[in-house]
Amino acid sequence: MARKYFGTDGVRGRVGESPLTVDFALRLASAAARVLAPQGGTVLIGKDTRLSGYMFESALEAGFVAAGVNVMLIGPLPTPGIAYMTRRFGCRFGVVISASHNLYDDNGIKFFDAEGGKLSDEDEERIEAELDNPPVTRHSRGLGRASRVDRSRQHYQDFCVSTLPAGLTLEGMKIVIDCANGAGYKVAPRILADLGADIVPIGCSPNGRNINDGCGSTASDLLQLTVPGVRAQVGIALDGDGDRLVMVDHLGRMVDGDQLLYVLASARREAGTLQGPVVGTVMSNLGLEIALREQGIDFRRAAVGDRYVMAQMRESGSVLGGETSGHILTLDKTTTGDAIVAALQVLAVMRQTGRSLAELSAGMAKLPQVMINVKVGRRFDPMSVPAVVQVVERVQAGLGNQGRVVLRASGTEPVIRVMIEAEEEQQARDSANEIATAVRAAGP
């Protein structure tokens, strides 16, 4: 069946507009309880720092408790931390209230299964089918209970540290950490400090409205100025829910998800611990594929979205994959994309090799890549429009084998993404503008 509410990463939208309303959250909780915990059980609810998170937390809590499901409220914690704690607590499933890298006036609701993985398409479809039914309210004897477990986030911090080689510390390292005023603002600085690093925190003062606002992985300018300004060895930027990572080298240059994958894959190959191919997406820079090929490392592309990267990794026996945006999956360490865990793996490579991030990433030459996000009234498949297809075919013919065209609808917002890769940046920019113009003309 066609899904009405669930996108590639749960339900997401503007707060106060359908479907991101209190009424919907209550119905969603009741529907999820009937599908995922028909005999009761426990659900863990976590969130990022958006003002609307309190509202949706209360609505979800009411819906679950009324349906006979016990609720554990863990408060602000990175999305991967909620996945981990769902598994650790033995919950039937987990819920995250977050719109990831979006600004505060958006929010979203997504689910993890008992193993800390994303729900299957089938489970999401079953939940959607239940949404037309009114919320369930059991008699008093059958109601669930709610409790707060905020202090248990120390378990997640300990887990992150456990992914490092035994005995490795960060003593002597000066690190700037930007938490996007989001879910990682408590745990990420504490983890680094506990490992002995001298930390300089930015983006760690959330007020409910400043999440992802000029900070974090989607806006690294301040981090790029701060790292060389305070003479730090490296900078780390998370997004609002702590599952995306970009880093900054000591020279103030941003190191994106493709380059971080290259660093980790090269280190694992050298250590003999790399299993299977490295998995990227159709948006991954061609330079990553070329650099890995030169080392004899197989590289495969999945559709955009960490769930599709995950599916390709499981199918191919891979332990390392990710996206340009900074979703890094290290399945030999954890079950989902985790920015803190990924950052620790990069820091470990720096400590073990004695090399800077600039040196480690220098082996990958990025091809010029231009992305234009075309806002549309509603999502549609641009390649179903003949006029757009004609322009795309003409541009691709002009690029030949030395460039790529990727055109796709975002799974989380009404945007058509136009990406061009070419040998020369101006050629990429001109080609992207040509296709973007065609998409705008075709959009609803």
Told to judge if 100 belongs to the known catalytic residues of this protein, a careful annotator would answer yes
Chain centroid, CA 137 distance in Å = 34
C-alpha closest to that of 62 among 143, 161, 132: 143
Total length of the chain: 444
Identify which of 334, 312, 309, 333 has the alpha carbon closest to the alpha carbon of residue 323: 309
Strands 93-97, 106-113: parallel, antiparallel or unpaired by DSSP? antiparallel
Q: What are the DSSP calls for 1-15, one per residue?
A: ---SS-BBTBEEEET
Q: Cα separations (Å) of 327 from 56, 185, 206, 261, 356?
A: 25, 18, 22, 10, 22
Q: Residue 386: how many CB atoms within 10 A of its CB?
A: 9
Q: Closest Cα to residue 233, out of 69, 346, 65?
A: 346
Q: What is the largest CA-CA distance in the chain?
A: 70
Residues in CB range of 324: below 8 A, 6 or more apart: 256, 257, 258, 280, 281, 283, 284, 285
Q: Is 167 exposed, middle or buried (0-12, 13-18, 19+ CB in 10 A)?
A: exposed
Count helices and strands in the chain by DSSP H and E runs: 14, 18
Instruction: Name the CA radius of gyration of the chain, rounded.
Output: 22
CA nearest to 285, candidates 391, 410, 422 = 422
Select which of 30, 52, 98, 100 is catalytic.
100
Q: Which residues are catalytic?
A: 100
